[in-house]
């Protein structure tokens, strides 16, 4: 068997395409494959599918292909433009590459296989390409797969922001809580992000009025955006974020008290955790503090926070009476930060109690967010938010890519 035939089979080329010539350069570590078609061949129209169109002229093109062992491999062909009686002059589709790409589909599939777990910059170094070329490739396939995505069944979503660059730069994520996948990502964390989600949902066959439940934090921007754009959505305030609000209040009490109470040095993380999650060293320190009976404000604040968490363990009918009792206790605690947190929670009462019906939280989003942040750390950040958003969809969007395997 001639080497051209072997390569023709390996490339799965079908007539009229064939391998005309191969040049193998050991010193340059390079394999060049020249493809061609027989004179008089006819092609089908890329637009209307009409078969047997005659060739009008050709245009010389090249593509980077998968390496042949350690050798960089390129393919070359004169790509015909055909004359279609319906559509006029059109460039034909070649089976090994998509129009406008300088890579073969198999090379693209290889990059897409690596991209979720390896920074694009590292892949670019490995295959000796510019990373901007590879980013364009990744974005193309993510966009194409997202164009095809069907979100007509979405009913419960979680919304949260993730930090995109250092400083105050955010991307908002909308996650389908039933399917555990990101269905929308956009710059910013204001109410307009929800409006953009609504438009995108409609573009993907979804219905904003069919969204029954949304889990999010108590940020006024999200609440406003949800009310404006998802008219039938019940908001459930995410447990994790409510606890965070209380934790910040406990920490504020501790910081104020620490000034006059040296015993509280280095206790910050103790009061941010639940007792069962403390290390044995932290646990001993907490016990010591209790034994000293210093009547610490921090201890009372901590107790208020721990007490609040009990609400999620109660039967639904006991939740509201419990919250009312807790609210009374917190607002009479003479601990200003705790009072403030209690007022905030009171204002969002319905969304706290909605949990007993919806049972949703942003737990799935926390998982998705940690995947996103891990990718961001591996890549040492992304040059643009568009790159970050493409990566979010690639890693957490459960998209179907139309690529050869
Ligand atoms: Zn045509």
Per-position DSSP letters for 207-275, written without gaps between them? -GGG--EEEE-S-HHHHHHHHHH-TTPEEEE-HHHHHHHHHHHHHHHHHHHHTT-GGGTT-HHHHHS-G
Residue 243, φ and ψ in degrees, nearest 5: -60, -40
pLDDT of residue 72: 95
Query: Ligand 1 (ion): which residues have CB within 5 A?
Result: 45, 47-48, 50, 84, 86-87
pLDDT of residue 290: 87
- The yes-or-no verdict on residue 167 having pLDDT over 70 is no
pLDDT of residue 7: 86
- The yes-or-no verdict on residue 343 having pLDDT over 90 is yes
Please give the distance, rounded to the nearest whole angstrom, from the Cα atom of residue 160 to the centre of ligand 1.
47
Please give the distance, rounded to the nearest whole angstrom, from the Cα atom of residue 47 to the centre of ligand 1.
5
What's the mean pLDDT when you consider all of the chain? 94
- pTM of the complete model: 0.90
Q: Return d(Cα 93, Cα 48) in angstroms, integer.
A: 12
pLDDT of residue 368: 96
Please give the distance, rounded to the nearest whole angstrom, from the Cα atom of residue 78 to the centre of ligand 1.
20
Those residues with Cβ within 8 angstroms of residue 226's Cβ, 6 or more apart along the chain or in another chain: 159, 194, 214, 216, 233, 235
- The yes-or-no verdict on residue 265 having pLDDT over 70 is yes
Spell out where 308-386 has E strands: none
Please give the distance, rounded to the nearest whole angstrom, from the Cα atom of residue 83 to the centre of ligand 1.
8
3-state class of 170 per DSSP? strand
Peptide bond just before 284 cis, omega within 30 deg: no
Q: Residues of the chain with pLDDT > 90: what percent?
A: 87
- The yes-or-no verdict on residue 166 having pLDDT over 70 is no
Tokens of 137: 């490739």
pLDDT of residue 16: 92
- The yes-or-no verdict on residue 232 having pLDDT over 70 is yes
Q: What is the dihedral of CA 361, 365, 366, 370, to 10 degrees?
A: 170
Q: Residues of the chain with pLDDT > 70: what percent?
A: 99
Which of 53-57, 74-78, 294-298, 330-334 shows the lowest mean pLDDT across its residues? 294-298
Those residues with Cβ within 8 angstroms of residue 266's Cβ, 6 or more apart along the chain or in another chain: none
- The yes-or-no verdict on residue 90 having pLDDT over 70 is yes
Segment of 8-22, 189-203, 263-277 carrying the highest mean pLDDT: 189-203
3-state class of 127 per DSSP? coil
Taking residues 21-37, what's their average pLDDT?
94
pLDDT of residue 14: 87
Q: Return d(Cα 103, Cα 381) in angstroms, integer.
A: 26
């Amino acid at each position: 068997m001639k080497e051209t035939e072997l390569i023709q089979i390996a490339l799965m080329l079908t007539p009229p395409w064939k391998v005309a010539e191969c040049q193998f350069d050991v010193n340059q570590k390079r394999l060049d494959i020249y493809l061609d078609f027989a004179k008089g061949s006819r092609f089908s129209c890329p637009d209307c599918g009409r078969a047997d169109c005659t060739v009008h002229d050709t245009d010389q093109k090249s593509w980077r292909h998968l390496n042949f062992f350690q050798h960089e491999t390129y393919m070359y062909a004169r790509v015909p433009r055909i004359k279609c009686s319906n559509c006029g002059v059109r460039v034909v589709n070649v089976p090994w590459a998509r129009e406008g790409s300088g890579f073969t589909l198999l090379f693209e599939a290889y990059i897409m296989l690596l991209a979720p777990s390896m920074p694009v910059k590292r892949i670019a170094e490995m295959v000796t390409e510019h990373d901007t070329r590879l980013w364009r490739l990744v974005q193309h396939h993510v966009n194409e797969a997202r164009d095809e995505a069907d979100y007509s069944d979405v009913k419960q979503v979680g919304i949260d922001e993730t930090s995109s660059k250092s400083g105050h730069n955010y991307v908002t994520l909308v996650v389908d809580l039933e399917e555990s996948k990101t269905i929308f990502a956009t710059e910013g964390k204001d109410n307009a992000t929800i409006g953009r989600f609504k438009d995108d949902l409609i573009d993907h066959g979804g219905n904003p009025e069919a969204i029954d439940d949304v889990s999010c934090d108590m940020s006024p921007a999200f609440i406003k955006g949800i009310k404006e754009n998802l008219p039938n959505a019940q908001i459930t305030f995410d447990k994790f974020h409510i606890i965070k609000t209380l934790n910040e209040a406990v920490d504020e009490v501790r910081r104020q008290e620490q000034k006059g109470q040296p015993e509280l040095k280095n206790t910050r993380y103790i009061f941010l955790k639940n007792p069962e999650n403390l290390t044995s060293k932290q646990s001993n320190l907490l016990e010591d503090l209790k034994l000293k009976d210093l009547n610490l404000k921090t201890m009372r604040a901590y107790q208020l926070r721990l007490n609040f968490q009990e609400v999620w363990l109660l039967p639904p009918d006991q939740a509201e009476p419990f919250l009312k009792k807790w609210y009374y206790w917190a607002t009479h605690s003479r601990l200003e930060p705790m009072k403030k947190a209690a007022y905030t929670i009171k204002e969002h009462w319905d969304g706290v109690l909605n949990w007993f019906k919806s049972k949703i939280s942003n737990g799935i989003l926390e998982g998705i967010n940690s995947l996103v942040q891990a990718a961001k750390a591996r890549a040492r950040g992304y040059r643009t938010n568009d790159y970050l958003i493409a990566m979010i969809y690639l890693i957490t969007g459960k998209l179907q890519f139309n690529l050869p395997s």
